[in-house]
Structure 1
Amino acid sequence: MNYTLSQIPDRTAKPRQSGLTMVMDKGLSLREVEDTLSVSADYIDIVKLGWATSFVTPNLQQKLDAYRAGGIPVYFGGTLFEAFVVRNQFEDYRKLLDKYKLEYAEVSDGSLEMDPDQKCEYIRTLAQQVTVLSEVGSKDEAKIIPPYKWIKLMKQELEAGAWKVIGEAREGGTVGLFRSSGEVRQGLVEEILTQVPSENIIWEAPQKEQQVWFVKLLGANVNVGNIAPHEIIPLETIRLGLRGDTFSHFLDK
């Protein structure tokens, strides 16, 4: 930090197991990646190339190399995994991970109907090759999954070998964990937390109000994801009580 302030919450150090910030890259240029890392690398734990953007991204290898040079692991969005699976190309997907020397992969079923046992089998298989993140929740805003099922799926996928489970929200924060207005489904989150430890979950929270809500509920070292590149440093100030929304949250009462 550039100077000293008292009553700042402790932040975990990289490589973190909690307090993770997962950033979504929806098509940054190579120069934008370099600019982002120049100011935010210390606060980025992992980057997701959103949904299947890696399929159409020019200079993909150079982009991956730039993140790697900055010490930031990258993975392809879960929709790409689903696109391979629905075309019966799972083994091609595994070869793709090797081709680009990726150390992480996301297993999801947000766009594709998938039997939970089959999803867990994909997790088990990929966990022998890479570190797996699995995403729970649908991208269809009309599909409401009851809390007991969120809990059951999260537990099964962690047991199958997922490093973290991701709570679905899409890049807009208007499905899954949230209502179409962006409001948190508070009862859902609180019920999940009675059964699944917070450190095992990455909560997709692209909107500032959502980030504030999770920091107030779970503290500075909550795992959040789908953070836009220009929101990385603002999020860190929210975590530290240095933005109006959390200004008094960490001060001695």
Structure 2
Amino acid sequence: MNYVLNNIPVRTEKPRASGLTMVMDKGLSIREVEDFISANSDFVDIVKLGWATSYLTKNLAQKINLYQDAGIPVYLGGTLFEAFVIRDQFDDYRKVVQEFNLSFVEVSDGSITLSHEKKCDYIKLLSKEVTVLSEVGSKDAAKIIPPYKWIEQMQKELDAGSWKVIGEAREGGNVGLFRDSGEVRQGLVEEILTKIPEEKIIWEAPQKEQQVWFVKLLGANVNLGNIAPNELIPLETIRLGLRGDTFDHFLGDLKL
């Protein structure tokens, strides 16, 4: 840091097992990736190439190499996994993972109908080869999954070999964990946390108000995902109580 401030929360250090920030790259150029790494590499833990944007991204191998050379793992969005599976091309998907030397993958079923048993089979198989993140929740705002089902699916996916489970919110933060207004389904989150350890969950929280809510609930080292590249340092200030939204949260009894 550039100067000393007291009463700042202690952040976990990279490589982190908790306090993770997953950034969503929705199509950054090579120049933008270089600039992003230069300014933000200390604060980003994982980069997701959103949904199936990697299918269209120019210089994909170069982009992935830039992130990896900076010590930042990259994975392809879960929607791409689903696009391969629905076309009966799972083996081709594995070849893509190998071709681009990816050490992380995301397994999801937010856009396709897939039995949970089959989803866990994919997790078991892939976890023997790479680190698996699996996403729970639907991208369909009309599909409301009861809390017990979230818990059951998260636990089974962790048991199958997922490193972390991801709470679905999409890039807009208006489905899954959140109402269409962006408001957190507070009861859902709190019930999940009665059974699933918080360090095992990455909460997709693209909106500032959502990030603030999770930091106030779980502290500076909550795992958060689907963060826009230009919102990474702003998020870090929220984590550290250096933005108005959380300014008083970590001060304790400190008064003027």
Work out whether the TM-score is over 0.5.
Answer: yes
Counterpart of 1:20 in structure 2 is 20
Task: Give the CA deviation at 1:252.
Answer: 1.9
Counterpart of 1:220 in structure 2 is 220
* Distance in 2 separating the partners of 1:60 and 1:140: 29
Letter in 2 for 1:2: N
Counterpart of 1:142 in structure 2 is 142
Letter in 2 for 1:160: A
* Distance in 1 separating the partners of 2:194 and 2:114: 26
Letter in 1 for 2:108: S
* Number of aligned residues: 253
State whether structure 2 residue 53 is matched by structure 1 residue 53: yes
Counterpart of 2:127 in structure 1 is 127
Counterpart of 1:5 in structure 2 is 5
Counterpart of 2:171 in structure 1 is 171
Deviations 1:91-138, CA, capped at 9 Å, x for gaps: 111111110000000000000011000000000000011000000000
Letter in 2 for 1:178: F
Deviations 1:55-77, CA, capped at 9 Å, x for gaps: 01011011011111211110000
Taking the TM superposition and a 5 Å limit, the aligned residue runs for 1:1-253 are 1-253=1-253
* Distance in 1 separating the partners of 2:221 and 2:31: 30
Q: For structure 1, list consecutive stretches of 5 or more residues without a partner in the other structure.
A: none
Letter in 2 for 1:199: E
* Distance in 1 separating the partners of 2:103 and 2:232: 23
After the TM superposition, list the runs of 4 or more consecutive aligned residues in structure 1 that deviate by more than 2 angstroms.
none
Letter in 2 for 1:236: E
State the identity as a percent.
73
* Distance in 2 separating the partners of 1:92 and 1:27: 23
Q: What TM-score, normalized to structure 1?
A: 1.00
Deviations 1:10-43, CA, capped at 9 Å, x for gaps: 0000000000000000000000001111111000
Q: Secondary structure at the match of 2:132?
A: strand
Q: Secondary structure at the match of 1:23?
A: strand
* Distance in 2 separating the partners of 1:40 and 1:246: 21
* Distance in 2 separating the partners of 1:97 and 1:204: 23
* Distance in 1 separating the partners of 2:30 and 2:137: 31
* Distance in 2 separating the partners of 1:219 and 1:115: 35
* Distance in 1 separating the partners of 2:104 and 2:69: 16
* Distance in 1 separating the partners of 2:168 and 2:12: 24
Letter in 2 for 1:212: V
* Distance in 2 separating the partners of 1:252 and 1:185: 27
* Distance in 2 separating the partners of 1:84 and 1:125: 16
* Distance in 1 separating the partners of 2:140 and 2:33: 30
Task: Give the CA deviation at 1:207.
Answer: 0.2
* Distance in 1 separating the partners of 2:100 and 2:38: 23
